[in-house]
Amino acid sequence: MPSVIEVQIEDKVGIIKLNRPESLNAFNNELSDALYSQVEEFNASSTVNSILITGNGKAFSAGADVAGFQDENTKKRSPLSWNDLIDLFIRSKPIVAAINGFAVGMGITLFLFADI
């Protein structure tokens, strides 16, 4: 199973690609957790000065994966909330949201809390 994000560092820029193109990069718990963890890792890294987030495929993000939030595993889940992710972005190294295609719901919220 491919990772829900693709990560690389290029010229001191930490690049995160949302990688659920089959769902137009809709957010589920796995994607939210992976994004949060990777931003934290880049923030702690001395080799990264800024962070770029983009999407794989034809959309930045279609928002929340509603079906993904309805399953039983989700109901038992996660201390990580959107407030946690937004707080992380606010206290982060500069974040650039490279919007490729459309951004809806949670996708546009993520974009709004980026620096550029």
- Predicted confidence (pLDDT) per residue in 29-63, tens digit: 899 889 999 999 999 999 999 999 999 999 999 99
Alpha carbons 61 and 16: distance in angstroms, whole number: 13
The pair of three-digit structure tokens given for residue 80, joined into one six-digit string: 């990580």
**Structural domains in the chain (count):** 1
Instruction: List % helix, strand, coil for the chain (3-state, nearest 5).
Output: 35, 25, 40
- Say if CB 3 and CB 12 are below 8 A apart: no
Range of the domain at 64: 5-112
Sign, CA dihedral 65-111-36-22, equals positive
Phi, psi of 58 (to 5 degrees): -95, 5
Q: Residue 13: give its domain's CATH number.
A: 3.90.226.10
Q: What is the pLDDT of residues 61-100, one digit of tens each?
A: 999 888 766 665 555 555 557 678 778 888 899 999 999 9
